[in-house]
Amino acid sequence: MNVPSTHQLLQTLQSASEHLSTNDRRDFLRRGMSYAAGAAAVGVSTMASTAALNSNLPPNEPQWGRQLGTGVVENPYGHPSPHESQVVRRTVPWLTAESVSSISMSPIQDLKGIITPNGLVFERYHSGVPNINPDEHRLMIHGLVDNPLIFTMEDLMRFPSVSEIRFIECPANGGMEWRGPQMEALQFTHGMLSCCEWTGVPLKVLLDAVGIQTKGKWVLAEGADGAHMSRSIPIEKVLDDTLVVYAQNGEMLRPEQGYPLRLINPGWEGNTSIKWLRRIEVGDQPWHHREETSKYTDLMADGRARRFTFAQECNSVITTPCPENPIVRKGFLEVEGLAWTGRGKIKGVDISFNGGVSWRPAQLKGLVLDKALTRFSFSTQWQGEAWLIQSRAYDDSGYVQPTLAQLREQRGVNSIYHKNSIHTWQVGPAGEVKNVQIT
């Protein structure tokens, strides 16, 4: 008899619950998770004493060691193991009217390190994903320039290339929770977030090629998709670190991420990193287009609205434990999470286990890069205590991640975007994790 792993059980529960309504699903998963936790505990002890229950465990030779596996180029472009099929992008259909103008979230609860695999980078489309033939794609740069130019993809790839690891985040990440906690999983509270190594040409190099005129203070970037998505970007940013990229994580861009060409404005709200980039116009003032007036402006409590809120401010969240990764065993526990800031580098992260009454410094681990996801870690023991666990990041600009109460006091609850407040998970006595807010 096979004893399924906790992981397999969760996977089964996940797929078995997909047809259920939210409430039913929540109950189903909660019951299922405690069953999974129990089964895993039973499994461990059973396996230790009566290994014969599982013919693939020591001292037996597992089945896969007694036969040949599949050969080379069985999958010319490989896929993740079928045992990882629960690691996928997910959406919340009631957020938007249609899937072609919608958003999906990265499964950040399942990801390791700081790089988001290409197939899991969150999606945001305003008119769906265009199918673009790169041979027929052009980038036009014109406006207040001396020599307007058109570049083919081949042209762009002849320029010296740069590769930078940068996060990209939708400013609406977390935006469903200004009034209270309502998402039941980390993927939905923070998953409009990804981080890739991007390869391309600094936009400054291309602007030098066309010869930008001194009156040029803003650029308009525009996509080739049906929305012809457009944003105005100040020249200071463009000359600082904006990239025109054609590759991500070692391969050409995915269609979902702008194939064959997109902009990357490091640390800025994701929608400014125009996908399927086809045109850049240099001008002397911003264009005030729909996606920088009607949308992506932040309405304050007094009825006035902040505009051109470009920077994604310092933010962090704990990924272990989280609702999808409950604590299943007493004893050693590495509390882990992600921190990021659009204003530079993460300098440190503190963790509270008591809802913000007291804080302990966590360790940063792995690469700590400018405007990139950064991992933090705190090794501890869990013996069934109730926790209100929080992370609080601070960056090298001196900014400390704020509380939700502070943001609400300044902005009210209708600003939708840029909710980067300290996040709280409630850990219960069985290790289950719930999304809550402390005020």
Partner 1 sequence: MFKLPKPLLAMALLAAFTAEVAYAENYQIGTPATAVQIAGWDIDIRPDGKGLPAGSGNAINGEEGYEIFCASCHGVFGEGEGRWPVLAGGEGTLEDDRPVKTVGSYWPYASTLFDYIRRAMPFNAPLSLNDQQVYDITAYVLYLNDLIEEDFELSQDNLAHVKMPNEDGFFEDNRPDVSNPRCMTDCADPSRLMMQTSLAGVTPIGHFVEGADAPAASHSDQHDLEASKEAERKAAITGEEMATSVNQDITLMSTQALAGEATYKTACGSCHGSGLAGAPKLGDAEAWSKRLEKGNDLLIIHALEGYAGSEGYMPAKGGRTDLTDEAVINAVLFIVESQQ
Residues 352 to 391: which contact partner 1 by CB under 8 A? Answer: 354-360, 388
Residue ranges in 16-45 that form contacts with partner 1 under rule CB under 8 A: 18-19, 21-23
Q: Is 225 exposed, middle or buried (CB count within 10 Å of its CB: 0-12, 13-18, 19+)?
A: buried
CB of 228 to partner 1, least distance (A): 4
Among 159, 320, 345, 377, binds partner 1 (CB under 8 A): 159
Residue showing tokens 């935006």: 175
The interface region with partner 1, picked from 14-22, 81-89, 333-341, 367-375 by CB under 8 A, is 14-22
Closest CA to 313 of 414, 120, 167, 121: 167
CA 429 to CA 186: how far, in whole Å? 20
* Three-class SS state of 383: coil
Residues in 78-107 at the binding interface with partner 1, rule: CB under 8 A: 91-102
Record the tokens describing residue 296, joined without a space: 């992506």
Measured between alpha carbons, how far is 183 from 284 in angstroms, rounded to an integer?
42
Which residue has 């399927």 as its token pair? 276
Decide if residue 112 touches partner 1 (CB under 8 A).
Answer: no
Binding mask of the shown chain, residues 249 to 288, with x at each position contacting partner 1 by CB under 8 A: -----------------------------xx-x-x-x-xx
Distance CA 116, CA 258 (A): 16
Closest approach, Cβ 91 to partner 1, in A, equals: 8
CB atoms < 10 A from the CB of 80, how many?
12
* Closer Cβ to partner 1, 43 or 174, answer by number: 174
Report the distance separating Cα 190 and Cα 187, nearest Å.
6
- Cβ at position 163, least distance to partner 1 in Å: 19
Q: Residues 55, 60, 213, 293: which binds partner 1 (CB under 8 A)? A: 293
23 vs 63 by CB, closer to partner 1: 23
Of residues 303-362, those binding partner 1 (CB under 8 A):
303-311, 313, 350, 354-360
Q: Does 233 bind partner 1 (CB under 8 A)?
A: no
Site for partner 1 in 405-424 (CB under 8 A): 406-407, 409-411, 414, 416-418, 424
Burial class (CB in 10 A: 0-12, 13-18, 19+), 288: exposed
- Helical spans, DSSP H, in 68-211: 153-158, 186-190, 203-210
- State how far the Cα of 253 lies from the Cα of 378, in Å rounded to an integer: 35
Site for partner 1 in 45-74 (CB under 8 A): none
Least distance (Å) between residue 4 CB and partner 1? 23
> By CB under 8 A, is residue 148 in contact with partner 1?
yes
Q: Cβ 229 to partner 1, closest distance in Å?
A: 8
Encoding tokens for residue 80? Answer: 């993740």
Looking at this protein, which amino acid is placed at residue 188?
F
Phi, psi of 176 (to 5 degrees): -80, -5
| Binding segment toward partner 1, per CB under 8 A, in 81-89, 246-254, 371-379, 429-437 | 429-437
Question: x-or-dash pattern for partner 1, window 176-215, by CB under 8 A?
Answer: x--xxxx-x--------------------x---xx-----
Q: Quick check: 428 binds partner 1 (CB under 8 A)?
A: no
* 236 scored as a contact of partner 1 (CB under 8 A): no
Toward partner 1, which CB reaches closer, 114 or 314? Answer: 314
SS3 163: strand
Q: Provide the minimum distance between the beta carbon of 74 and partner 1 in the complex, in angstroms, as a whole number.
A: 26
Contact assessment for residue 165 and residue 114, using Cβ atoms and an 8 Å cutoff: yes
Residue 305: CB minimum distance to partner 1, A: 5
Distance (Å, rounded) from C-alpha 231 to C-alpha 228?
10
Nearer to partner 1, 115 or 141 (CB): 141
Q: How far apart are CA 184 and CA 187, in angstroms?
A: 9
